[in-house]
Amino acid sequence: MSHPIVRLAARAGAILLVTFGLAGCGINAVPTQDEQVKAAWSQVLNEYQRRADLVPNLVATVKGYAKQEQTVLTQVTEARAKAAQTQMTLPSDVLTNPQAFHHFEQSQAQLGASLGRLLAISEAYPDLKSNQNFLVLQSQLEGTENRIAVARRDYIDAVQQYNTTLRTIPSRWIAAIFYPDAKPRQTFTISEQAQQAPHVQF
């Protein structure tokens, strides 16, 4: 009578031991870090969208004071449209697809550069520089650029941790066995300096 209970207890103990052993050896590291990468990526997209949402008001404000800067205004509008189109059509595998990731990265860098040129021309228009609406939009844009830099850094850190887990032993073996579809994630290659607004002297 006691043998079945002892055997059942032994089996339960063995199952618990294996479960805790697997948990202790990092079996959950891959999905946990994958979720962290996805959350960090969502924040990057959120901040880029926030920047894109500021563009129409900024362009309209500058247009009121600097109509002759039509080329720059058109470039900003077109860059925003391209960035928005790219973001809306991102493939589901963008984080593991180097071409799609690079295309997204380039479209955002182009928008950042054109916004930098737009802000630089304000130096030539004292009335625009002192306009309250422009000052508020400029401040919001600068704050958003800072938030983008933080979101990008957090994403890069999450990807580095995830990719390291997939490439180092023993987590590499665990991933191969339990998560064979796990692939290294793409990270940003455009430097932060390339994202900075150009300095233009008048």
Q: How far is CA 86 from CA 4, 80, 106, 172, 196, in A?
A: 63, 10, 10, 33, 21
Q: What is the pLDDT of residues 87-131, one digit of tens each?
A: 999 999 999 999 999 999 999 999 999 999 999 988 889 999 899
* Helix ranges (DSSP H) in 25-131: 29-65, 70-88, 98-121, 126-130
Residue 150 pLDDT level (bands cut at 50, 70, 90): very high
CA 182, CA 101: separation in Å to the nearest integer?
17
Distance of alpha carbon 13 from alpha carbon 16, whole angstroms: 5
Alpha-carbon gap, residue 191 to 179, rounded angstroms: 32
Residue 15 has pLDDT above 80, yes or no: no
Alpha carbon 10 to chain centroid, angstroms? 49
Provide mean pLDDT across the span 171-184. Answer: 94
Report cis status (omega within 30 of 0) of the bond before 170. yes
Q: What is the mean pLDDT of residues 1-28?
A: 62
C-beta separation of 30 from 175 below 8 A: yes
Which amino acid does the sequence have at 23?
A
